Amino acid sequence: MSLSWPWPDASGGLLAVFALGLAVAALLLALLLRREASRARASLRRAEAAAAEAREADRLLRTVVDAMPAMVTACDADGRVLLVNAAQERFWGLAEGSAEGRLLSELGLPPEIATQLRRAAEARAPAPPLEAEATDAAGRRRALLHLAAPVPDDRPARARTVHVALDITERREADARLRHMAEHDALTGLPNRALFAARLEQAMASGGCALQCFDLDRFKEVNDTHGHAFGDRLLLAVAARVQAVLGPEDLLARLGGAEFAVIQPGAGAAEALRLGRRIVAALAEPFRIGGISVRTAGSVGYVLAPAQASTPERALQHADIAMYAAKGEGGSRAVGFAPVMAEALALRRALEGDLREALDEGAFSVAFQPKYAVADLRLTGFEALARWTHPVRGAVPPALFVPIAEETGLAWRLSRTVALAACRQLAEWASAGRPVPVAVNLSAGHLLTDAAVELVREALAGTGAPAHLLEIEVTESVFLRNAEAAERAVAGLRALGVRVALDDFGAGFSSLSYLLRLPFDSLKIDRTFVSALRGASGLPGGRGAEVVGGIVRLAHGLGARVVAEGVETEEEFAAIRRLACDEVQGHLFGRAMAARLAGALPGRWGRRWPPALREAGD
């Protein structure tokens, strides 16, 4: 059996097979072309998408670069600008898009940019940061930080570098403010203790200097009376006034509180003394603040460094010692350091601690000095005086411990101790049938606040002492500090029923205005006027008698009694009698004595008293 093709003959069959192959090939080619066309279209779409993405990335990059606060510039190897961002254009006043394609040297930018780009290109690494000042398109002087780095590329011909400039003006200013705050006093703007110590060290190392230290006397009273805001204004006025008397090379600093210091480069002892006196004179003038006139004073201590102090710390210490020596001499003066002052200060510091301990332990006593009527030598009263017997040093003079109490804030406790003891004794004498008036001194600082009135009210209420037998002595200096506050205090004291005496009249800047306004019961003439009455023949002498006589007539005209204190000789007493003073007190008539001795005094003074009464006390 045989098979046959379905074509008529063999040749026809071959043609049919060939035709079929061609058809299949055509179909495959069509499919291939369709697939390639599809691939081409997909590739084109990807290319278009990639181009779109590239354009979007370029727009995004440009937006980011333009939004940067930093100034950005990119250059090629020939120094032609490839990119400048908006911040760079704004800073230098370049028109938008005007820089690309131009040489960097054509743009007129500062040389620091080209310098940084060149360094980065040559080193093929980021250039070290460079700070420089430049003037922007608005004419403002600005501080710029320049940075530059190469763009990584293996082809040297395509080398590109990028420069970035940061405006660091605000940072510099902030740093300067922080540095200023760290080195200067927040209130006055003067150098503080830290900066002053550094400048002092420099001055000592470069030829030496004089160091002046001073502070304001009674500044605490100003704060207590008028408030801290007023005290701050006073410190500002003090700084301005002292600055006006300094030389151009002198440096004024505030060390803290009311304490200031001055470096006087190259000054010797004579120059230091002159400047110290100018400072004292400047501080002695009244300050007018907010319609209020305030008198203060300053004590200046100075030292030559390194001649008298080898280190800044020791120089400050020695100047401080000299300042306290000036205070000890009465204040309102300039005093140079001497080695002996260190010993005196050590004693003073030791006494400060002992004074606190003595107040805590009730170690203070009160002595009573008698006062007599000039006309008939009748006993008219006593003045209560604080006394302190140190367990080691013995009797400590009031002239030493009272200023320490004032400066260390212990004056109120001391005044309270004396007032209570005096009122207890006054009440005891009154209940025993001997109603003798007693006078008590109060600190001037307390009279500028409500403390004085409250202290007296407490003493009277706690002891039952008759108010009309208590006399409060105030010094005229309190009215120079704050007349209004002092008037209120005097009025408050009189409202309690006590008498008020003006003590040490004439010792300071006496003013008749407050004598006219205030109803003093008595006026005490300072001892300096009493001693001026001595004459060769025992008669009133010259101007001293005229002044005292005028004071007596004035006081009598105002209805006040006159007490002459510090009378020590018969000659002085004779002069006082001729000038018609009302009362007298002093060592001639008896020193301050214990209460038991004071209570035993007869009603009239006599030369035949037992020595125990005549010479008692100190």
> Which residue is associated with the tokens 């125990």?
612
Closest CA relative to residue 88, chosen from 77, 74, 102, 101:
74
Low-confidence ranges of the chain (pLDDT < 70): 1-19, 21-22, 24-26, 28-30, 32-33, 36-37, 47-69, 154-158, 477-482, 506-517, 535-542, 606-618
Q: Is 66 buried (19+), middle (13-18) or exposed (0-12) by CB count in 10 A?
A: middle
CA separation for the pair 195, 186 (Å, rounded): 13
What distance lies between CA 453 and its chain's CA centroid? 31
pLDDT of residue 129: 87
Spatial neighbors of 294 by CB under 8 A, at least 6 apart, are 222, 226, 234, 286, 287, 288, 481, 482
Q: What angle do CA 599, 601, 605 make, to 5 degrees?
A: 150
Angle (deg, nearest 10), helices 570-578 and 542-557: 50
What pTM value is reported for the model? 0.55
CA separation for the pair 251, 355 (Å, rounded): 37
The answer to whether the CB of 533 falls within 8 A of the CB of 551 is no
Using CA atoms in the order 481, 487, 492, 496, what is the torsion angle rounded to 10 degrees? 110
* DSSP-assigned states of every residue in 134-186: EE-TTS-EEEEEEEEEEEP-S-GGG-EEEEEEEE-HHHHHHHHHHHHHHHB-T
Number of residues that this document lists for the chain: 618
CA separation for the pair 607, 66 (Å, rounded): 107
CA separation for the pair 233, 71 (Å, rounded): 47
b/e burial code for range 111-133 (CB count within 10 A of at least 16 → b): ebbbbbbebbbeeeeebeebebe
Q: What is the three-state SS of 373-438?
A: ECCCCEEEEEEEEEEEEECCCEEECHHHHHHHHHHCCCHHHHHHHHHHHHHHHHHHHHHCCCCCCE
Tokens of 458: 């407490």
Cis-peptide into 306, omega within 30 deg: yes
The answer to whether the CB of 586 falls within 8 A of the CB of 567 is yes
Residue 539 DSSP one-character state: S
pLDDT of residue 209: 96
Q: Is 322 buried (19+), middle (13-18) or exposed (0-12) by CB count in 10 A?
A: buried
Q: How many CB atoms lie within 10 A of CB 166?
A: 18
b/e burial code for range 578-611 (CB count within 10 A of at least 16 → b): ebebbbbbbbbbbbbbebebbbebeeebeeebee
Amino acid occupying residue 607? R
Reported as type and span, the H/E element at residue 216 is strand 209-216
CA separation for the pair 325, 319 (Å, rounded): 10
Tokens of 312: 């800044």
The answer to whether the CB of 149 falls within 8 A of the CB of 161 is yes
Closest CA relative to residue 213, chosen from 151, 273, 299, 155:
299
CA separation for the pair 383, 418 (Å, rounded): 11
pLDDT of residue 509: 47
Furthest CA-CA distance within the chain? 191
User: Residue 83 region, left (φ>0) first, then alpha (ψ -120 to 50), else beta?
Assistant: beta
The answer to whether the CB of 211 falls within 8 A of the CB of 262 is yes
Tokens of 385: 């005086």
pLDDT of residue 584: 94
Reported as type and span, the H/E element at residue 472 is strand 470-475
Q: Which long-range contacts (CB under 8 A, 24 or more apart) does 602-607 make?
A: 602/379, 603/378, 603/379, 604/372, 604/376, 604/377, 604/378, 604/379, 605/370, 605/372, 605/377, 605/379, 606/377
Q: Which residues pair with 162 in a beta bridge?
A: 74, 149
